[in-house]
């Protein structure tokens, strides 16, 4: 019973405050400015329509990517990916996910799986080149950068 009284008092306070807050724009006489309400409503409707178009375009792109199956992801770093030594020295770090590494370095030339539950090693510029080792959590643990001759 006490909770019901508290709830009713809270509702009354909210109701009283709502009367003090101007929900709609008002003119100098304190009346609702219907022309401004109409303008704001139209701009909101336009904005919602634009957002719905953007969502539809994103959904279409996602569906196309899903239907296309696996695709080669281009590397960043001026298009040089694993050949860019700064990607190995400055951007690659322990804890990165496989997706992060693919984005940075590009697709590996070879993948070695040492155990279903253990390490996976990605090779770039195979044979030779560099390698990145992922642990059980599928995150980067160690790596060895490619020799200068392998990065050409």
148 pLDDT band (50/70/90 cuts)? confident
CA 85/CA 79 separation, integer angstroms: 12
pLDDT at 123: 94
CATH 1.10.287.610 for the 81-151 domain, yes or no: no
| Residue range 21-56, pLDDT digits in tens | 445 566 777 776 777 666 666 667 777 777 787 777
- Between residues 5 and 20, the one the model is more confident about: 5
pLDDT at 69: 46
Each domain of the chain, given as residue ranges in start order, spans: 2-67, 81-151
Residue 104: which of 123, 84, 128, 119 has the closest Cα? 84
Residue 52's CB is within 10 A of a number of other CB atoms, namely 10
CA 78/CA 30 separation, integer angstroms: 61
- Between residues 116 and 22, the one the model is more confident about: 116
Number of helical (H) and strand (E) elements in the chain, helices listed first: 4, 4
| Residue range 92-111, pLDDT digits in tens | 999 999 999 999 999 999 99
The residues pairing with 111 across neighbouring beta strands, listed in sequence order, are 122
For the chain, the average pLDDT equals 74
pLDDT at 23: 53
> Can you list the positions of beta strands (E) in the chain?
110-113, 120-124, 130-134, 140-144
pTM for the complete prediction?
0.49
């Amino acid at each position: 019973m006490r909770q019901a009284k508290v709830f009713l008092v809270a509702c009354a306070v909210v109701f009283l405050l709502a009367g003090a807050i101007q929900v709609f724009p008002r003119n100098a006489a304190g009346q609702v400015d219907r022309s401004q309400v109409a303008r704001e409503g139209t701009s909101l409707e336009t904005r919602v329509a634009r957002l719905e178009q953007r969502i539809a375009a994103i959904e279409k792109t996602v569906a196309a990517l899903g239907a296309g199956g696996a695709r080669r992801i281009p590397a960043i770093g001026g298009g040089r990916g694993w050949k860019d030594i700064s990607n190995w020295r400055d951007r690659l770090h322990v804890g990165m996910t496989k997706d992060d590494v693919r984005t940075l370095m590009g697709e590996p030339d070879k993948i070695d799986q040492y155990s279903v539950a253990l390490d996976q090693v990605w090779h770039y510029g195979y044979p030779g080149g560099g390698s990145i080792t992922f642990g059980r959590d599928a995150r980067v643990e160690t790596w060895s950068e490619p020799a200068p001759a392998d990065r050409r």
